[in-house]
Amino acid sequence: MGHQKAAYDMLIRLYTPETITQSDFLLKVLLWYIRFDLFVGFQSGGESVLSQDWYVAVHNHYYQRAQEAPENLGWRYEERFAYSRLAAKDSNDLFSRKAKGQLGDEAFMKQLAELSARIDGLDKHIHPILLDPKDKVQSFPGAPDQDSIVNPHEPGILWDGERWTSNYLVMDMYGIMFMHHISISMALRKPFDPACIEKAFRAAQAFEAIRTYPNAPPGAVIEAQATMAIASIFMPKDAKTTSWCRRQFVKIESAGYVERSGLRTFRCSPCH
């Protein structure tokens, strides 16, 4: 949180939402901070400190770029990542206001229903150009480990080529859904939505496919690890599943990322 506040102080002293969107490099800096800000806010149970107008400015910028060049996959990806971050910010702020007593039960439940529909639909509102099946991986060498809980070799799990980023996009959206549902469970003191368990296994399958795919770009595991870590919270606690998750954390750590799965403590790797 100390790093978060120091970065925030530098950001708002040097830039405004309007000036920072004038440079592609500075936008990358802001996107790094936004992910950091959201993750620290979620971990601490507090509010992400950057105000919503920054998130809106980033999304508006990339939305406009995507409208101007609809065939440009890069702008399409950036717009969806920015929209996901805005949805995550709204989730963070909603639970923070409720915890601070700034929102009554009736207003909270109404806003929660609207926001949950929006977040649970993130992966259903990806532009078709980013999901073109022509770049789906139908097979690759190898076979599932007999101790695995998922089959990474199932056809159509991954995209390759110019749509490789779609793998990270879907994983990123799952991560935001998971964080939102953890907050719901804590706020309402209720069990996880069973649909989250299915999504957790889908995220685990995608992670394992990314990890084992021979044509994956360098650093692919680091890009996908955060969602895998959060997905493990929703998985059954039987011996086979727990053992498999632990092995994945070891593999992630060996790739240069630290997990402390026993404490359910995750450090954000701000790659996107």
Residue extents of the structural domains in the chain? 1-100, 121-272
For residue 232, what are the contacts with CB-CB under 8 A and spacing of at least 6?
200, 204, 245, 248, 261
Q: Which of 33-37, 95-99, 112-116 has the highest mean pLDDT?
A: 112-116
Q: What pLDDT is stored for residue 144 in this prediction?
A: 79
Q: What pLDDT is stored for residue 46 in this prediction?
A: 67
- Evaluate if residue 168 carries a pLDDT over 50: yes
- Tell me the helix, strand and coil percentages in the chain, rounded to 5: 70, 0, 30
- Evaluate if residue 259 carries a pLDDT over 80: no
Q: Chain centroid to CA 43: how far?
A: 14
- The mean pLDDT of the chain is 89
Rounded Cα gap, residues 56 and 68, in angstroms: 18
Q: What pLDDT is stored for residue 270 in this prediction?
A: 34
Q: What pLDDT is stored for residue 61 in this prediction?
A: 96
Kindly report, residue by residue over 124-140, the tens digit of the pLDDT. 999 999 999 999 999 99
The residue ranking higher by pLDDT, 24 or 270, is 24
- If you count DSSP H runs as helices and E runs as strands, how many of each does the chain have, helices first? 10, 2
Asked which of 35-44, 97-106, 138-147, 186-195 is least confident by mean pLDDT, the reply is 35-44
3-class DSSP state for residue 265?
A: strand
Q: What pLDDT is stored for residue 42 in this prediction?
A: 78
**Is residue 232 within 8 Å of 175, Cβ to Cβ?**
no
